[in-house]
Structure 1
Amino acid sequence: MKPIYLPCCITVLAALFGGPVQAAPVDVILALDHSGSMKRTDPNRDSVQGVELFADLLGKDDRLEFMGFAGRAETLLPLTAGSGPAVRERLSRLAQALPMNGQRTDFSEALRLAYEDLIVAAAPPDTRRMVVIFSDGQLDLGDAAANNTAQALILALLPEFRAVGIKVYCVAFSPEADLAFLGRIAEATGGRALRAERVADIYKAFIRLFEETDQPLSIPVRDGQVAVDKTVRELKLLVERDSERERIRLVDPSGKEFDGQDKALGLEWRHHGLFDRITVPRPAVGTWRMLGAAGEKKAYLDSDLDLGMEVHPPVRAGRPVEITVRLSYRGQPVSDQRLLEGLKIEVTGHGETGMSLEPLAWLPDAQTGHPGEFHGRLRFAAEGDYRLAALAENPVFQRRREMSVTVLAAEPAAIPPPAAPREEGPSPPAPVPTASIPVPGPPPPTAGDPSLSGLGWIVALNLVLVALVGGGIWFWKYRSGQDKQQTLALRAARKSTEHGVPPRRPGPMP
């Protein structure tokens, strides 16, 4: 694609789509631990400068609240819109004046107050909400019972955070910080826990938090240079210095050099410990160079030409994950083929442990029927946290978008369902033997067979019963015959007496 066509294409797109589309705003509450141990772990108040740097990077539509906590939490700066000089100066004064003399460390107080403040604050429906807990210690309320009670309160409150979409991010400053518990808090709400044991790590942790929350659009920095195109409205440069005495210089496309003392071109140059933040409104088209610093360099921008990236769930290790990359102009898909011609899209990534991912495998129909939309698949070898970066570039413009993604463990192998249990019932009848197969009878009982003695007892008892019954019947008949014979003899005697014949003595029965 010939570079000369791009300004023409952008002018046409601007006429079609109107003004710029603003990114979704962010409401952030920064909760800074001011317990007494911070005097020892942060003697130079680098945490305060990290807070100032974080606030300096927020967009003009984002809102920031600042609170301190130790044994109790207190809101020092309520949710305030904008990141202008007045707000930054007020935040700086409050943070610097916060005494590091707290006797206890109670995360539950900070979380409870932050939740209440975010819930009652009126905000647009698409506002993203987050809480940042910065601490150098552990949950400490004086005794184990109080610690257990506070921990139970925190664990009971975390589902409420997740239900309303409030993410908690934690920065564990110093080796003494309870990263395990802070990580548990962050994970339960979809946030992240970071460790910052060195001074430089504090600033990088807050930069990482800014990139996690705002997911800013950026331009890749190559050899200290960035290429600015006509669609860029504002350029924000973040440059790390090896020491606070190191001097940073900025060179515009015409070759003119600037430093932190220059106010030309509307430059805003701010020092934050080991980092300089330089804002250039309406930068000139061409290559800008950063001189005098060998540390980390980043270039964020506001632009009408945007790049988006979406990771489609489920995101599990060992299986392809579909990723969509979209190029848009003022919120509308880019359809001008002259703008898309020669466009290169790539997605790279690495795990938190530094493990690099295989290059993105684009689908055969990488450019679908939707203009400016590309689909690809990425495979994650293991579970864990990954950082992805999408890059779109051609000879004229470059856009970069980063995001974090948590990869779940691989799905367990499918286990076949258990066989249906057999219904209990009567055993099937044995097959009937045929006539040609003799069926042997039961074996004869032996003398020692216990079943024989049992049978003998039964037979003997039956014989005794028969004898008794038979004897009783015979005796009954005998007595009945005797009684009958005597009755007849008495009757005969009475008759003989009546006729003068002596009675005959009865003899024995024949």
Structure 2
Amino acid sequence: MRKKILKSSYLAVVCLISGLSSSLLFANENPSTEKLPLDTVVIMDSSGSMKQTDPKQLRKPAAKLFISLLDNDDRLSVVSFSSQAWPITYLTKLETDKQLKQALRATDKISHKGMYTNIHSAIKKGIEFLKESDQINREPIIILMSDGQMDVGNKEKSAQLREQIFEDLLPQLIEHNIKIYSIAFTEASDQELLQEIADATDGRYALAASDDVLHKVFSKIFEQTKQPDMLPLNENKFVVDASINEITIIANKVSDASQIYLKPPMGEKINSTFKSEKIKWFVSTSFDMITIKKPDEGEWKILYSDDDNRAYIVTDIKLRTQFEFNTESYQPELIIKSWFTQNEENESNEELLKNMEVVLEIEHPDDTIETFPVEKANELGEFITRFKPEADGIYGAAIIAKSRTFQRQQIFSFKNTMPTEPEPVKEKTIEAVKKPPAENLESKNPAEEATIEEPKKEDDTMQILIYFGIFNVVLIFIGLNGFLIYRHFKGKKPAPTNSSEK
């Protein structure tokens, strides 16, 4: 399986292994199946304004990095657009090196000489290529990059086409399950349009207004769509075990003048001048890509790179991660389950699991990071934890598993929407009246206790009135019957006899 790379101020380590890996499966997917192959249309703005908004043409190496990370079962098309959209390459599998090189060269043909920004034509062309993908068990996505507003040179016509995106094209995107990952290059872009079509199709929107953001955006798109197997990095260090047959490192540069070095477990540090049949080293202005066959076991370190890096791997032993929202909880609660598999069968090797430390790392929508320990594996070899998001927005999450000689990581993201209405009190009150658990009563605040106590007082009053009524009825019944008995015996008393009768 061909290993690929990612563009970011990012380090990606892509490993071809016969050992350990990770794969994220969403709640609506079968945990035993792999992610569907991608059908991707990369649509790049070639209007004249891109010369100012992307003077270094960073969108090209960013797109190349994403393309390089795709598998040989994925298909790709590159489309350029200004006044109209036209394909540079059609939807083609990346099965051979020739096909991959052709796809990479296609990005170099993107210019910045166009007159207008016809986003309508761009999306329409993407739908044309992807409308049948969902029917043949492939996942269709569009990566749309633009720096401007919908513009065809006529204000009225431009506004009309913008409306048609929502009225005509968006329903088609939803019908064919096509996700849009949109990227705005400036704040002057039509951010509202780009975000709305991304949200409506369950994609993602990002503003890449600076040079150090664009590659990170493509990294996240890759992680969200391919859910790759990964190694965790700590201070640009990563651990290679015996199961790794090949590793590809993408080290992002702090500046154009930076030179990346690698420090292997044994020996001196090396850079792009190092010659070896085992190592291929590609240098660019924003990142280096290093592929190493049969890397030495132990701890490696990337030198003179930034600290926002990734390591992607392929292996036989995989860290599976599945998450779903708890449907029984009114407030959002995420249930996350992780486990290892080997050759698609559950792996509960005690030697592998007994010294394994697992944590959940959450990146909140405000970019703060929080880490939570995960309990030891259960008897089935599963690590289960829960997380309750407390704000709207997109969360990043990572399951990180570490032992002394073995490390794996799985990254995923999810979008959370908090309830707009308060949790219904009525249902709680009724339940409390029926059977008030002691722990619930102890944790209630005064307002809730008043709500619960009020119906109890009403019930007590009603019971007293009922008992009082019954008591009075009984008294009346006894009195009436006593009176009737008295009358009865009085009426039967014998009359006195006179002397003549005697």
Distance in 2 between the 1:216 and 1:239 partners?
A: 17
Amino acid at match of 1:135: S
Q: Which residue is equivalent to 1:325? A: 338
Amino acid at match of 2:421: P
**Secondary structure in 2 matching 1:109:** helix
Match of 1:135 among 115, 124, 146: 146
Distance in 1 between the 2:115 and 2:246 partners?
A: 45
Q: Which residue is equivalent to 2:351? A: 338
Distance in 1 between the 2:134 and 2:417 partners?
A: 34
Q: Which residue is equivalent to 2:225? A: 213
Mapping 1:455-466, distance limit 5 Å: none
| 1:152 matches 2:163 | yes
Distance in 1 between the 2:414 and 2:239 partners?
A: 28
Distance in 2 between the 1:243 and 1:381 partners?
A: 37
Mapping 1:51-130, distance limit 5 Å: 51-82=63-94, 85-120=97-132, 125=137, 127-130=138-141
Deviation, 1:74, is 0.8
Is the contact made by 1:34 and 1:99 (CA closer than 8 Å) also made in structure 2?
yes
| 1:380 matches 2:380 | no
Deviation, 1:380, is 0.6
Q: Which residue is equivalent to 1:468? A: none
**Secondary structure in 2 matching 1:298:** coil
Distance in 1 between the 2:177 and 2:132 partners?
A: 14
Deviation, 1:132, is 0.2
Mapping 1:2-401, distance limit 5 Å: 24-82=36-94, 85-120=97-132, 125=137, 127-155=138-166, 156-313=168-325, 318-357=331-370, 359=372, 367-368=377-378, 371-401=380-410
Deviation, 1:386, is 0.4
Deviation, 1:167, is 0.9
Amino acid at match of 2:224: E
- Deviation track 1:38-85 (CA, whole Å, cap 9, x = no partner) reads 122122212112111221222333222100011211111112322765
Deviation, 1:375, is 1.8
C-alpha change, 1:367 and 1:93, in structure 2 (3 Å) is closer
Deviation, 1:279, is 2.1
Distance in 2 between the 1:78 and 1:110 partners?
A: 14
> Size of the alignment, in residue pairs?
396
- Deviation track 1:85-135 (CA, whole Å, cap 9, x = no partner) reads 53454334333233322222122211111112123459862x322110011
- 389-398 vs 77-86, greater mean Cα deviation: 77-86
Is the contact made by 1:237 and 1:297 (CA closer than 8 Å) also made in structure 2?
no
Is the contact made by 2:326 and 2:333 (CA closer than 8 Å) also made in structure 1?
no
Is the contact made by 1:34 and 1:70 (CA closer than 8 Å) also made in structure 2?
yes
Mapping 1:484-499, distance limit 5 Å: none
Is the contact made by 2:265 and 2:296 (CA closer than 8 Å) also made in structure 1?
yes
Is the contact made by 2:146 and 2:189 (CA closer than 8 Å) also made in structure 1?
yes
Is the contact made by 1:159 and 1:188 (CA closer than 8 Å) also made in structure 2?
no
Distance in 1 between the 2:139 and 2:385 partners?
A: 27
- 72-81 vs 273-282, greater mean Cα deviation: 273-282
Deviation, 1:213, is 1.6
Is the contact made by 1:46 and 1:273 (CA closer than 8 Å) also made in structure 2?
no
C-alpha change, 1:77 and 1:334, in structure 2 (3 Å) is same
Is the contact made by 2:134 and 2:176 (CA closer than 8 Å) also made in structure 1?
no
Distance in 1 between the 2:299 and 2:368 partners?
A: 32
**Secondary structure in 1 matching 2:123:** helix
Is the contact made by 2:142 and 2:180 (CA closer than 8 Å) also made in structure 1?
yes
- 131-140 vs 44-53, greater mean Cα deviation: 44-53
Is the contact made by 1:73 and 1:109 (CA closer than 8 Å) also made in structure 2?
yes
Deviation, 1:290, is 1.6
C-alpha change, 1:122 and 1:350, in structure 2 (3 Å) is closer
Deviation, 1:22, is 6.6
Provide TM-score, normalisation by structure 2. 0.72
Is the contact made by 1:233 and 1:302 (CA closer than 8 Å) also made in structure 2?
no
Distance in 2 between the 1:336 and 1:242 partners?
A: 41
**Secondary structure in 2 matching 1:194:** strand
| Larger RCO: 1 or 2 (CA < 8 Å, sep 6+) | 2
Deviation, 1:256, is 4.9
Distance in 2 between the 1:361 and 1:249 partners?
A: 35
**Secondary structure in 1 matching 2:174:** helix
Provide TM-score, normalisation by structure 1. 0.71
Is the contact made by 2:325 and 2:333 (CA closer than 8 Å) also made in structure 1?
no
C-alpha change, 1:84 and 1:260, in structure 2 (3 Å) is farther
Q: Which runs of 5+ in 1 are unaligned?
A: 1-8, 12-20, 418-510
Amino acid at match of 1:392: A
C-alpha change, 1:415 and 1:10, in structure 2 (3 Å) is closer
**Secondary structure in 2 matching 1:297:** coil
Amino acid at match of 1:342: N
Distance in 1 between the 2:371 and 2:260 partners?
A: 36
Distance in 1 between the 2:387 and 2:304 partners?
A: 38
Distance in 2 between the 1:144 and 1:360 partners?
A: 56
The structure whose Rg is larger is 1
Distance in 1 between the 2:97 and 2:186 partners?
A: 31
- Deviation track 1:180-206 (CA, whole Å, cap 9, x = no partner) reads 210101000000011111112222222
- Deviation track 1:122-171 (CA, whole Å, cap 9, x = no partner) reads 9862x322110011111112334323322232223223323332210011
C-alpha change, 1:415 and 1:308, in structure 2 (3 Å) is same
Is the contact made by 1:159 and 1:189 (CA closer than 8 Å) also made in structure 2?
no
Is the contact made by 1:348 and 1:390 (CA closer than 8 Å) also made in structure 2?
yes
Distance in 1 between the 2:277 and 2:356 partners?
A: 32
- 235-244 vs 28-37, greater mean Cα deviation: 235-244
Amino acid at match of 1:169: Y
Deviation, 1:343, is 1.6
**Secondary structure in 2 matching 1:387:** strand
- 291-300 vs 131-140, greater mean Cα deviation: 291-300
**Secondary structure in 2 matching 1:185:** helix
Distance in 2 between the 1:284 and 1:265 partners?
A: 14
**Secondary structure in 2 matching 1:339:** helix
Match of 1:402 among 411, 415, 423: 411
Distance in 2 between the 1:191 and 1:294 partners?
A: 28
